[in-house]
């Protein structure tokens, strides 16, 4: 049981690592969109697609491992309560790391999506010959925020 639990925590760490990589790609994509670098955006999207496939595979493995551990419907927040004795802190740390990585990814992903939409609206208006007002003007994203 302890080996299976350790393997599961390792899997959670792998998932967090992929989320971190996806966050970096989203940040690169936002910067590339802001620069108007279509080739770099395309490269980011290809890397993102490959990582998404890995993520799907790991998530399927995670579900299978949870079922084997008898924890099929347990959320990450509840995981610590079901950890084997002596593994509570390690479990809490792994779950918090994954939740944090996911939250950062969501923020970076939303920023990339918003930046891309803003640039697309400005391009559409320019193609139609419509004036572009300041709200439509793309801005450089600040990742330090």
What class, spelled out in words, does domain 2-129 have in CATH? mainly alpha
Distance CA 70, CA 64 (A): 10
Cα-Cα-Cα-Cα torsion 28, 14, 62, 102, nearest 10 degrees, comes to -40
Q: Indicate if the pLDDT at residue 126 is higher than 90.
A: no
Higher pLDDT, 116 or 104: 104
What is the pLDDT averaged over residues 79-87? 93
Give pLDDT, residue 145. 41
Give pLDDT, residue 141. 47
Q: Name, in order, each residue with C-beta under 8 angstroms of 65's C-beta and a sequence gap of 6 or more.
A: 4, 7, 8, 11
Domain residue spans in the chain? 2-129
Give pLDDT, residue 116. 86
A 10 A CB-CB count for 40 gives 15
Give pLDDT, residue 132. 60
Query: Which single residue is written with the structure tokens 């309560």?
Result: 81
Give pLDDT, residue 35. 87
Task: Give percent of the chain above pLDDT 70.
Answer: 88
What are the pLDDT digits (tens) for 9-61? 999 999 999 999 999 999 999 999 888 888 999 999 999 999 999 999 999 99
Distance CA 110, CA 127 (A): 26
Give pLDDT, residue 57. 95
What is the pLDDT averaged over residues 59-70? 93
At 22, phi and psi to the nearest 5? -65, -35
Distance CA 25, CA 108 (A): 9
Q: What Å distances lie between residue 115 and 32, 33, 52, 119, 138, CA to CA?
A: 10, 7, 21, 6, 7
Mean of the per-residue pLDDT values for the chain? Answer: 87
């Amino acid at each position: 049981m302890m080996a299976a639990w350790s393997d599961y925590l390792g899997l959670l760490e792998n998932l967090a690592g992929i989320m971190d990589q996806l966050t970096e790609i989203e940040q690169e994509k936002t910067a590339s969109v802001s620069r108007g670098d279509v080739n770099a955006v395309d490269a980011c999207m290809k890397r993102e697609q490959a990582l998404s496939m890995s993520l799907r595979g790991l998530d399927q493995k995670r579900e299978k491992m949870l079922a084997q551990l008898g924890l099929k419907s347990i959320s990450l927040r509840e995981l610590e309560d079901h950890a084997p004795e002596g593994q509570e802190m390690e479990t809490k740390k792994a779950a918090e790391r994954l939740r944090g990585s996911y939250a950062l990814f969501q923020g970076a992903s939303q920023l990339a999506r918003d930046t891309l939409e803003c640039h697309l609206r400005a391009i559409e208006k320019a193609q139609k010959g419509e004036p572009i007002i300041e709200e439509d003007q793309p801005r450089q994203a600040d990742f330090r925020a």
